């Protein structure tokens, strides 16, 4: 079916159901950013492959709402589909709830899949719709009627992450939940976010590409703990280990039956910002609710010493692979044909040589020239661009190792550069260095220091549309909260132990893109009469190609930082390289 045919078929079902609009949220029942194919509804109905966006269909119109990362990509992918792109996170943007309220007649009916929208989403819709008495109507997934070749849910086996990597046992983590329940005077905590469940029970899986999580729910009470998952996915040794930790296995599809069997009225702690509306309603029908952010979100973000040591090791191993990759690339470009796809595959192959490698942590962004102007560009084999011995090449990649997760971006010259390419390259690096060196008081949020990375660009009237930094999970999702560094406000201070990216950029459509990214860990620096002072330790170990710099744009402090960083890179990476690679890295890391 074409996109237009899918929309026509959906509209027929909407007409039958008496719906004036239908929302395809783009999330799964667990509020995941990246989804298994079975829940890729947004992609199926629209053809848009980005990781963020909402599709709304009325009888007359269809729209996709997405943010600045995907504007160029969405315009291309939606072409000829009958779906119009609406821009978010730009001045005067109108989000889909407000658009629906403006577009629909009073007392209209808007259909939703209550398993794939959060309680917070529905509450917002009801607030916006109240003025026109527009009704939100719960439906099961209407796309299921027309998506006849829909993939099944994954069956990959669950595996354990040992306490030597996590630093805390499953029993210890469950006890933290029980202490929290006691503090809240509650009986149970239900978790639906997959990374929270994986962290709590020290389990990992392969249900979602790049994100080693397991499709499941978790429930912890004062006396017992349960994991709701497909039983066939639990190997005997995993089941035994979980049972020894006090975790009982129940079928993923039996959550509602279990809740019905729990006759006694309980007081549940629920995170309504992430819990789907269907499960919330099931619990609220028979039990008392305490709403608030899940405590696991912050526990998971505050990496313990074992996890931080694992990140350091992962970044060193990743740095070895990255250095070998760039050495290979420099030897090959201009001598033979290399595509963006081949380059990405080579980088993955080098990472795979490490016996501790599990998988990539996201789909590698391998982008040459104008393609790098798309922050989330995805090369398609056979349609991708060939690398040329000129201009800039951007590669944003990462890996999952048993002891940590990496996310790194480097932009490198493949030959002669224009003056503008060099200027952009230098200004972005200045921004990244500025944030790396930032010192701030405890209690500071990411939005408070986002300007530090942007100021070198703003001084030259340049900007980038995406966030400057995101949290990173430990052998979990490469995008993790609750902290971030961006212009929009989030009431979450940066705290010691949080691992966060530092990745400013510049993107010029049809010309080039530049992004430099390291990952950092927040650490305590000192305390005095003014308060507790925090800063960042850089974890990533990979050189920046100084041949692309305009040194006159760097001040002495920036040069000092870069020289010290390059000294550390050479010291920690070179012992693991062959003599030719080590000699080459020595030249790349020489002082400027």
Sheet holding 499-502, edge to edge: 440-441, 531-538, 518-528, 499-502, 469-471, 480-485
pLDDT at 193 over 80: yes
What is the number of domains present in the chain? 3
Q: Are 190 and 279 in contact (CB under 8 A)?
A: yes
Indicate if 128 and 183 belong to the same structural domain: no
Asked whether residue 566 is assigned to any structural domain, the reply reads yes
Indicate if 170 and 125 belong to the same structural domain: no
Q: Are 30 and 194 in contact (CB under 8 A)?
A: yes
* pLDDT value of position 261: 85
Indicate if 24 and 105 belong to the same structural domain: yes
Cα 366 to Cα 360: distance, rounded to the nearest angstrom? 13
* pLDDT value of position 352: 98
Cα 577 to Cα 327: distance, rounded to the nearest angstrom? 11
pLDDT tens figures, 522-571: 999 999 999 999 999 999 999 999 999 999 999 999 999 999 999 999 99
Half-sphere exposure of 383 (CA within 13 A, CB side): 5
Asked whether residue 578 is assigned to any structural domain, the reply reads yes
The pLDDT-based confidence of 385 (bands split at 50, 70, 90) is very high
Asked whether residue 310 is assigned to any structural domain, the reply reads yes
Indicate if 141 and 170 belong to the same structural domain: no
Cα 261 to Cα 278: distance, rounded to the nearest angstrom? 17
Indicate if 348 and 245 belong to the same structural domain: no
C-alpha distances (whole Å) from 4 to each of 13, 52, 312, 353, 556 are: 15, 21, 49, 45, 58
* pLDDT value of position 107: 96
Which of 300, 318, 337 is the last residue before a domain boundary? 300
* pLDDT value of position 73: 87
* pLDDT value of position 505: 98
* pLDDT value of position 574: 98
pLDDT at 140 over 80: no
Q: For residue 260, what is the domain's CATH number? A: 3.40.350.10
3-state secondary structure of 275: coil
Exposure letters 145-181 (e unless 16+ CB within 10 A, then b) = ebbeeeeeebeeebebbeeebbbbebeebbebbeebb
pLDDT tens figures, 268-277: 999 999 999 9
Tell if the pTM clears 0.85, that is, is over it.
yes
Asked whether residue 153 is assigned to any structural domain, the reply reads no
pLDDT tens figures, 392-451: 999 999 999 999 999 999 999 999 999 999 999 999 999 999 999 999 999 999 999 999
pLDDT at 263 over 80: no
Cα 403 to Cα 310: distance, rounded to the nearest angstrom? 4
Burial class of residue 489 in the structure, from the number of CB atoms within 10 Å of its CB (0-12 exposed, 13-18 middle, 19+ buried): exposed
Q: Both tokens of residue 283?
A: 């619990």
The per-residue DSSP string of 86-106 comes to EE-SSTT---HHHHHHHHSPT
Asked whether residue 154 is assigned to any structural domain, the reply reads no
Q: Are 219 and 283 in contact (CB under 8 A)?
A: no
* pLDDT value of position 91: 86
Indicate if 319 and 455 belong to the same structural domain: yes
pLDDT at 131 over 80: yes
Average confidence (pLDDT) over 172-178? 98
159-160 and 135-139 beta bridge pairing: unpaired
Indicate if 406 and 511 belong to the same structural domain: yes
Burial class of residue 190 in the structure, from the number of CB atoms within 10 Å of its CB (0-12 exposed, 13-18 middle, 19+ buried): buried
Which of 259, 285, 300 is the last residue before a domain boundary? 300
pLDDT at 89 over 90: no
Chain-wide mean pLDDT for the chain? 95
Indicate if 326 and 242 belong to the same structural domain: no
3-state secondary structure of 52: coil
Q: For residue 363, what is the domain's CATH number? A: 3.90.230.10
Indicate if 41 and 66 belong to the same structural domain: yes
* pLDDT value of position 139: 78
DSSP code for 26: S
Cα 243 to Cα 221: distance, rounded to the nearest angstrom? 15
Q: Both tokens of residue 481?
A: 């909260």
* pLDDT value of position 266: 87
pLDDT at 108 over 80: yes
| Domain membership of residue 25 as a residue range | 3-145
Q: Are 378 and 363 in contact (CB under 8 A)?
A: yes
Indicate if 270 and 320 belong to the same structural domain: no
Which of 114, 145, 176 is the last residue before a domain boundary? 145
Asked whether residue 150 is assigned to any structural domain, the reply reads no
* pLDDT value of position 537: 98
Cα 9 to Cα 147: distance, rounded to the nearest angstrom? 10
pLDDT tens figures, 344-373: 999 999 999 999 999 999 999 999 999 999
Indicate if 518 and 541 belong to the same structural domain: yes
Exposure letters 271-290 (e unless 16+ CB within 10 A, then b) = bbbbbbbbbbeebeeebeee
Asked whether residue 122 is assigned to any structural domain, the reply reads yes
Indicate if 553 and 506 belong to the same structural domain: yes
Asked whether residue 209 is assigned to any structural domain, the reply reads yes
What is the separation, in whole angstroms, between the first and last Cα of the chain?
58
């Amino acid at each position: 079916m074409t996109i237009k045919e899918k929309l026509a078929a959906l509209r027929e079902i909407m007409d039958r159901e008496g719906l004036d609009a239908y929302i395809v949220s783009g999330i799964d029942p667990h509020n995941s950013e990246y989804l298994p194919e079975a829940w890729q509804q947004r992609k199926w109905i629209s053809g848009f492959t980005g990781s963020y966006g909402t599709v709304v269909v009325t009888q007359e119109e269809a729209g996709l709402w997405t943010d600045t990362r995907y504007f160029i990509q969405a315009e291309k992918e939606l072409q000829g589909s009958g779906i119009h792109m609406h821009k978010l996170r730009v001045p005067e943007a109108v989000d889909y709830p407000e658009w629906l309220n403006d577009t629909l007649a009073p007392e209209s009916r808007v259909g939703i899949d209550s398993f794939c929208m959060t309680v917070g989403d529905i509450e917002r819709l009801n607030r916006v719709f109240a003025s026109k008495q527009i009704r939100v109507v719960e439906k099961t997934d209407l796309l299921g009627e027309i998506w006849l070749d829909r993939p099944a849910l994954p069956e990959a086996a669950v595996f354990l992450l040992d306490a030597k990597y996590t630093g805390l046992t499953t029993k210890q983590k469950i006890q933290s939940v029980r202490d929290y329940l006691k503090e809240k005077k509650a009986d149970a905590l239900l978790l639906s976010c997959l990374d929270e469940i994986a962290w709590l029970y020290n389990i990992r899986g392969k249900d979602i590409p790049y994100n080693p999580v397991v499709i499941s729910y978790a429930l912890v009470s004062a006396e017992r703990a349960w994991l709701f998952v497909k039983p066939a996915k639990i190997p005997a040794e995993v089941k035994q280990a979980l049972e020894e930790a006090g975790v009982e296995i129940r079928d993923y599809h039996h959550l509602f039956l279990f809740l019905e069997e729990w006759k006694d009225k309980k007081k549940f702690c629920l995170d309504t910002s992430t819990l789907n509306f269907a499960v919330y309603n099931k619990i609220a029908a028979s039990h008392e609710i305490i709403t608030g952010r899940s405590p696991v979100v912050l526990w998971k973000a505050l990496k313990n010493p074992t996890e931080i040591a694992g990140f350091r090791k992962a970044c060193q191993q990743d740095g070895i692979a990255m250095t070998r990759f760039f050495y290979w690339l420099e030897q090959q470009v201009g001598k033979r044909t290399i595509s963006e796809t081949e380059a990405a595959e080579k980088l993955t192959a080098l990472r795979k040589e490490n016996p501790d490698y599990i998988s990539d942590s996201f789909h590698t962004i391998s982008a040459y020239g104008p393609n790098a102007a798309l922050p989330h560009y995805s090369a398609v084999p056979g349609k991708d661009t060939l690398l040329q011995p000129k201009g800039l090449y951007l590669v944003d990649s990462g890996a999952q190792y048993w002891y940590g997760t990496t996310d790194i971006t480097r932009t490198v010259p493949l030959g002669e550069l224009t003056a503008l390419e060099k200027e952009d390259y230098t200004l972005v690096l200045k921004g990244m260095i500025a944030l790396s060196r930032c010192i701030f008081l405890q209690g500071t949020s990411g939005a408070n220091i986002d300007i530090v990375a942007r100021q070198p660009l703003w001084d030259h009237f340049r900007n980038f549309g995406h966030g400057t930094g995101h949290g990173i999970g430990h052998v979990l999702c490469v995008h993790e909260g609750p902290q971030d560094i961006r212009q929009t406000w989030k009431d979450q201070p940066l705290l010691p132990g949080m691992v966060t990216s530092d990745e400013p950029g510049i993107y010029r459509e049809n010309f080039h893109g530049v992004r430099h990214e390291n990952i950092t860990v927040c650490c305590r620096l000192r305390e005095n009469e003014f308060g507790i002072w925090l800063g960042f330790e850089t974890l990533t170990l990979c050189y920046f190609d100084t041949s692309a710099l305009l040194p006159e744009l760097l001040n002495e402090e920036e040069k000092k930082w870069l020289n010290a960083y390059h000294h550390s890179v050479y010291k920690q990476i070179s012992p693991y390289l062959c003599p030719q690679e080590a000699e080459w890295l020595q030249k790349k890391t020489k002082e400027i």
